[in-house]
Amino acid sequence: MTISSPSTRTHAVVIGCSLAGLLAARVLSEHFERVTIFERDPVEDHPASRRGQAQTRHLHGLLAHGFRILTRLFPNLDSQLIHGGATVSDMGEAIRWYHYDGYKVQFKSGLAAVSMSRVFLEWRIRQAVLALPNVSLRAPCPVTHLITHPDRTHVIGVAVASNTAQDQASPILADLVVQTGGRGATPGKWLAQIGFSGPSEDEISVGVGYATRLYRRRPTDLTGAKLVMISPTPPHQKHMAFVFPVEDDRWIVSAGGWLGDHPPTDDAGYREFLRNLPVADVFNVIQHAEPLSDVYTYKFHSSLRRRYERLTRFPEGYLVLGDAVASFNPIYGQGMTSAAMQADVLDSLLRQRVSLEGLWRSFFRKVAKVVDIPWQIAGCEDFRYPETQGRKPPMTDLLNAYLTRVHRATHHDSIVYLQFLRVMNLMASPTSLLHPRIIRRVLGRRSS
């Protein structure tokens, strides 16, 4: 087996055809002659959830920064989404958000809120990626392991289980292999097979449970807002529910609870859960609405971050991206945007460099910076519950005491709320909430 020159960019392989894989393939298509995506599950040519990505049945909010990256990568995406029934509105105006014992002020923020089902978004992106002349998909076609050069320093391809004989692994050679197999991918095992150590892991246990149901949507169901979010005030409250409009005149409702305190899944129990939230806005939307699905559930045990940037040895020709690097408590809606930002990192590194040699080192270093912020935002909020387990960064309690006042200020102060939204949407650093202009506003009024 030969290693092609480190500057050869003939063929790139992507493992997994979910959102991170599609975004990786889109970016790689500009830098490689050919890109092949391998997906374990059958992939339908319509919006549909697959076994390997069961989370896609649940409500997915797309952060404004993620939407911005997606519309840069796919210039017609916004009009295609709207044409297909997505709702695009101003985030500050559109969301009725009950959070920390009050409603946030509604105002024009300039930030886009796009609402559609996760499967519809992915289907649109998949169509755009697979329309690229140099990208192809093989599915169902699981990758079984990495193939290395005999000196074991380079990944030079992957083995896949062929469609016809699952037990016959056939080698596919590539100059770069990008693992986007999601959180369930076992990168440590694959690395061990080729003589490398896997990354260390940070984990924050959150014990979140989702229960999601679709309902028919009528124009009169909700006035004065387009989306409703009810979030808890930790640590005494553990329940949340969001209702977002999705295509085909439907509502998607995701109810959730932290630390094992999960919503029931029977019809009566589900309704009761929504009725008993601190405010009735979600219940009011669904109480007379026709259910269009069962109640789907999802258990999310912990946020998980794999610290590839700390490795000192890693095979050349191999990268990991998306949930396989970091999966966050989904309630904060960060995963897709994090994947988009990581794909952006890959794109800019491939533009800057001629050689692929050492790419992994710069890539993981920059990806760690991308992941730091959502990881910090999600962890900080989750550590408000004393039962949460994991490595709690110093100053978290102090920061949270201040952020409680930020949350309460968002009930009446649109300038503080805008800055909070910018941070939440990964468009500004969390430290921007400590700018004297914001601190003055947050501390200037007595928090109720």
In terms of phi and psi (left: phi > 0; alpha: psi -120 to 50; beta: otherwise), the region of 446 is: beta
Closest separation in Å from C-beta 397 to ligand FAD: 27
Closest separation in Å from C-beta 54 to ligand FAD: 8
The residues pairing with 254 across neighbouring beta strands, listed in sequence order, are 212, 242
Closest separation in Å from C-beta 319 to ligand FAD: 13
Q: How far is CA 309 from the centre of its chain?
A: 20
Helix axes 335-352, 19-28, angle to 10 degrees: 20
Closest separation in Å from C-beta 35 to ligand FAD: 14
Closest separation in Å from C-beta 434 to ligand FAD: 26
The residues pairing with 87 across neighbouring beta strands, listed in sequence order, are 115
Closest by CA to 20, choosing from 129, 109, 98, 163, is: 129
Q: Is the alpha carbon torsion for 429, 434, 438, 443 positive or negative?
A: positive
The residues pairing with 304 across neighbouring beta strands, listed in sequence order, are 203, 327
CA-CA distance, 338 to 425, in Å (whole number)? 10
234 or 374: whose CB is closer to ligand FAD?
A: 374
5 or 186: whose CB is closer to ligand FAD?
A: 186
CA atoms within 13 A on the CB side of 15: 31
Residues 6+ apart with CB under 8 A from 381: 234, 332, 400, 403
160 or 416: whose CB is closer to ligand FAD?
A: 160
Closest separation in Å from C-beta 131 to ligand FAD: 19
Closest separation in Å from C-beta 191 to ligand FAD: 14
326 or 409: whose CB is closer to ligand FAD?
A: 326
Residues 6+ apart with CB under 8 A from 380: 393, 396, 399, 400, 403
Q: For 173, which DSSP code?
A: E
23 or 277: whose CB is closer to ligand FAD?
A: 23
Residues that bind ligand FAD (CB under 6 A): 15-21, 38-41, 50, 52-53, 55, 58, 60-61, 142-143, 180-183, 185, 210, 298, 300, 322-324, 330, 333-337, 339
Radius of gyration from C-alpha coordinates of the chain = 22
338 or 388: whose CB is closer to ligand FAD?
A: 338
189 or 437: whose CB is closer to ligand FAD?
A: 189
